[in-house]
Structure 1
Amino acid sequence: MDLIANGLNILLALGTIGLGLFGLLRPVQTMEYIGVAATDDTGLAKSEVRAASGGVWVGGAIGALLIGSPVAYVVLGALWAGAAIGRGMSVMFDKANTGKPVIFFAVEVVFAVLLLGINLPALF
């Protein structure tokens, strides 16, 4: 893998970690930012934000950095693509077609396209 591709992979993984850390370390602020609230005091809402909006992204990106292969970065790209698919469905079916959902969708698509575009060719 060439130097530019490797550098982009590392930057995208670090960006993923940065975004994931916000959900992992600041679940209440994350919930406020995205407009969701806990409906009970079990801690499940914060737990879910820490796991799904934080830990999954941090763990996936750290794994990609540690493994450092195109396959690992394809998996990270697949995570981003999965998020984009889910968000895209929400944009289409849930009328979440303005503001933050559209911006989040765009970010997810960019990360997915870059990671997959850089690394899939290296697998063939």
Structure 2
Amino acid sequence: MTLVDTINVLLAFATIGFGSAGWLVPKWTMQKVGLADTGTTMGMSEVRAASGALFVMAGAAALVLAHPIAYAMLGFVWLGGGLGRGTSLLVDGRTRRKWGFFASEVVIGLTLIILNLQGA
């Protein structure tokens, strides 16, 4: 296994891990990102779907397909999170935690894209 393969697999598993938290323990995830329970189940449903199972399936798909384009696509998913977070930094205000999430999303996304689109 090459270094690029190792990084791809580790970042795919990290994606699955982060997604699993949103999917399986949405209340904990909501607490970490400052979301409030409004008394309906829609908030938890959204976290399970958009912050959870979506990332689990994206990471799993990249592992199953095991192709550079699949890992690059996973990078674009992370950059999508970074785009939303960056928008929030500009429009909603800045916090240290938000900057940390943004940096993580951009670094993971760009790493997957750059490593897997070289020569594509």
SS at match of 2:37: coil
> What letter corresponds to residue 101 of structure 1 in structure 2?
K
Of all paired residues, the percent bearing the same amino acid is: 41
Count of aligned positions: 120
Deviation at 1:92, TM superposition (A): 1.1
Alignment partner, residue 75 of structure 1: 73
Q: Structure 1's 122 and 54: CA in aligned 2 closer, same or farther, altered over 3 A?
A: farther
Q: For 1:79-94, list aligned pairs within 5 A.
A: 79-94=77-92
RMSD between aligned alpha carbons?
1.1
Q: Which amino acid aligns with 1:36?
A: L
Counterpart for residue 104 of structure 1: 101
Runs of 4+ aligned residues of structure 1 deviating over 3 Å after TM superposition are none
Return 5+ residue gaps in structure 2 as ranges: none
Show CA shifts across 1:18-54 (max 9, x none). Answer: 111110110011111111112232x111110000110
Q: Which amino acid aligns with 2:77?
A: L
TM-score, length basis structure 2:
0.95
Structure 1: segments with no counterpart, 5+ residues: none
Normalised by the length of structure 1, the TM-score is: 0.92
